[in-house]
Amino acid sequence: MNSPCERDPLAASISAVTPELENLFSFLRFPSVSTDSRHAGDVRLCAEWLIAKLAAMGLRTELHETPKHPVVIARNEHLAGRRTVLIYGHYDVQPVDPLALWSSDPFQPEIREGKIWARGATDNKGQMMAHVLGVEKTLRENGKLPVNLIFLFEGEEEIGSPSLPAFLLEHRDALRCDVIAISDTGMVAPGVPTLGYGLRGIACCEVILRGPKGDLHSGLFGGAVANPAAAVARLVSSLHGLDGRVMVDGFYDAVRPLEAWEREMWAKVPGVSDEDFLQVTGSPGLFGEPGYTSAERTWARPTAEVNGIGSGYQGEGSKTVLPAEAFAKLSFRLVPDQSPQVVMEQVKRHLERHCPPGVDIEVQVGHDGKPYVADPHSKFGLAAQAALRRSFGAEPVLIREGGSIPIVQTFRDTLGVDTLLLGLALSDAQIHAPNENFPVANFEAGIRLNQALLAELAR
């Protein structure tokens, strides 16, 4: 594959856009898909491009090898007596398939309707580059930063950050800081500054059901042996009650109840009403645990999801086959104080107990991450709110997040510090899906936000 610079037919047309956007476009052109080993070289090239960018800004850079994709570190000159702020981001992206549903090439960013369209535009390259360019602008304007800064960028977030926990332990002293800031979360509505103070955790697995030694004629053998496709359907449907509650024994035991002040506060947050959820998702109806709003269900309640399911004939027309195998890919979103390991044990027990007769079951445990919640009114939480207020000219809203950034709780466990989640991702950003996009306005606001944040955190 050519390097992104060689296959850059847009170079001429984007010269009309700002230098900031040109930087982001170059970053977005790397197909740094971390899960796909065919893209390992692109992930590395992206890391090297970042190193060059950060070095050109006058920062001291380090590229660290890991068992998979490199970690990029950059810092300014640290002075005694100043706050140390660590800014985290990830330069890897999710796969682009189904490619046919994209309106333009996912790795050739375009601006249409005031938005940047590309894989990673919001998650996380656009938000991350806003941090980088905010720092660049402050350095250009003031010659220095108000804080000791550590940039920590990884290339494995979308595959569960397998290398980063060990990296943090190994480099704990070099990464000592007072607070961490991340722009990799949601913004409830355009122009509404949003501080996240919680993230859900996650536990993933794949269940495989095996029946006959090979596919069978369903007329000759159907009715005599168990059908793995039917069995996986039954198994998956055992996960939820008809009312939407998760039926895994013990699943809710460690769940910390929602606090009254949160429910009251969230009821006033714009852009997250049940009607908004219907509109954004295009679903014909809402469904979930009784007794909670959509925002509460996604931000503060645990859930079980089927991310993929497969078996049997998928082609045109019919084929009378009794498939030999079936699988389902499952993930469980967790809230404080659930433990991913405990939940996965509960899930395994549930799947084994509910597996229909006549098939063998295998459960492959996948990656996981702990849930996180912090006090949005802490000293640094208030500083983040002040920065949001200043850069958006509006009162920030405080939310928790349905998504997961597993390293955030690991930061707390390893470095002993909390993380400020300064989200710029809109609900229609299509992250992880075709036609991912990021408003140019959010990108520009992110640059201003970074400048205000470092100033506020320095106080």
List of residues contacting Zn ion (CB under 5 A): 123
Distance CA 387, CA 145 (A): 16
- Closest CB 328 distance from Zn ion, rounded Å: 22
For position 436 contacting ligand BES by CB under 6 A, the verdict is no
Six token digits for residue 310:
């497969």
Helix (H, G, I), strand (E, B) or coil at 177: coil
List all residues 6 or more positions away from 222 whose beta carbon is below 8 Å from its beta carbon: 216, 322
Distance CA 345, CA 365 (A): 10
Comparing every residue's Cβ against Zn ion, the nearest one is 123
Q: With left for phi above 0 and alpha for psi between -120 and 50, is residue 237 left, alpha or beta?
A: alpha
List all residues 6 or more positions away from 45 whose beta carbon is below 8 Å from its beta carbon: 3, 4, 30, 32
- Closest CB 265 distance from Zn ion, rounded Å: 26
Q: What is the dihedral of CA 154, 447, 190, 112, to 10 degrees?
A: -80
The residues pairing with 60 across neighbouring beta strands, listed in sequence order, are 75
Total binding residues toward ligand BES, as defined by CB under 6 A:
18
What sign does the dihedral 183-189-190-194 (CA atoms) show? negative
Comparing every residue's Cβ against ligand BES, the nearest one is 403
- Closest CB 90 distance from Zn ion, rounded Å: 8
Q: Classify residue 401 by its DSSP letter.
A: -
For position 184 contacting ligand BES by CB under 6 A, the verdict is yes
Q: Return the number of the residue (431 or 457) whose C-beta is nearest ligand BES.
A: 431
CA 106, distance to chain mean position in Å, is: 18
Six token digits for residue 417:
């510090």
Q: Kindly indicate which of the ranges 31-39, 169-177, 178-186, 312-320 contains the residues binding ligand BES, using the contact rule CB under 6 A.
A: 178-186
Q: Return the number of the residue (28 or 324) whose C-beta is nearest ligand BES.
A: 28
For position 31 contacting ligand BES by CB under 6 A, the verdict is no
Six token digits for residue 142:
């003031």
| CB atoms closer than 10 angstroms to residue 165 | 16
Q: Return the number of the residue (123 or 296) whose C-beta is nearest Zn ion.
A: 123
Q: Kindly indicate which of the ranges 217-225, 294-302, 315-323, 396-404 contains the residues binding ligand BES, using the contact rule CB under 6 A.
A: 396-404
369 binds, among ligand BES, Zn ion, none (CB under 5 to 8 A by kind): ligand BES
For position 346 contacting ligand BES by CB under 6 A, the verdict is no
Q: Kindly indicate which of the ranges 57-65, 157-165, 263-271, 351-359 contains the residues binding ligand BES, using the contact rule CB under 6 A.
A: 157-165
**Using CB under 6 A, which of 344, 425, 426, 449 touches ligand BES?**
425
For position 156 contacting ligand BES by CB under 6 A, the verdict is no
Task: Return the closest-CA partner of residue 183 out of 393, 459, 391, 433.
Answer: 391
For position 20 contacting ligand BES by CB under 6 A, the verdict is no
Give the C-alpha distances (Å, rounded to integers) separating 332 from 112, 203, 335, 350, 372: 36, 5, 10, 13, 15
For position 369 contacting ligand BES by CB under 6 A, the verdict is yes
- Closest CB 132 distance from ligand BES, rounded Å: 17
- Closest CB 187 distance from ligand BES, rounded Å: 9
For position 158 contacting ligand BES by CB under 6 A, the verdict is yes
- Closest CB 94 distance from Zn ion, rounded Å: 6
- Closest CB 186 distance from ligand BES, rounded Å: 4
Q: Classify residue 159 by its DSSP letter.
A: G
CB 21 within 8 A of CB 116: yes
For position 403 contacting ligand BES by CB under 6 A, the verdict is yes
For position 155 contacting ligand BES by CB under 6 A, the verdict is no
CB 94 within 8 A of CB 123: yes
Q: Return the number of the residue (126 or 212) whose C-beta is nearest ligand BES.
A: 126
Give the 3-state DSSP-derived string for 333-400, with helices as H, strands as E and coil as C. Answer: EECCCCCHHHHHHHHHHHHHHHCCCCCEEEEEEEEEECCEECCCCCHHHHHHHHHHHHHHCCCCEEEC
Q: Kindly indicate which of the ranges 35-43, 134-142, 165-173, 183-191 contains the residues binding ligand BES, using the contact rule CB under 6 A.
A: 183-191
Q: What is the dihedral of CA 410, 413, 418, 423, to 10 degrees?
A: 10
Q: Return the number of the residue (200 or 350) whose C-beta is nearest ligand BES.
A: 200
CB 289 within 8 A of CB 304: no
User: DSSP states of 120-147 as a string?
Assistant: TTTTTHHHHHHHHHHHHHHHHHHSS-SS
194 binds, among Zn ion, ligand BES, none (CB under 5 to 8 A by kind): none
For position 391 contacting ligand BES by CB under 6 A, the verdict is no
What x-and-dash track marks residues 210-229 binding ligand BES by CB under 6 A? Answer: --------------------
For position 401 contacting ligand BES by CB under 6 A, the verdict is yes
Q: Return the number of the residue (391 or 410) whose C-beta is nearest ligand BES.
A: 410
185 binds, among ligand BES, Zn ion, none (CB under 5 to 8 A by kind): ligand BES
202 binds, among Zn ion, ligand BES, none (CB under 5 to 8 A by kind): ligand BES
Name the residues that contact ligand BES, by CB under 6 A. 123-124, 157-158, 160, 184-186, 202, 367, 369, 401, 403-406, 425, 431
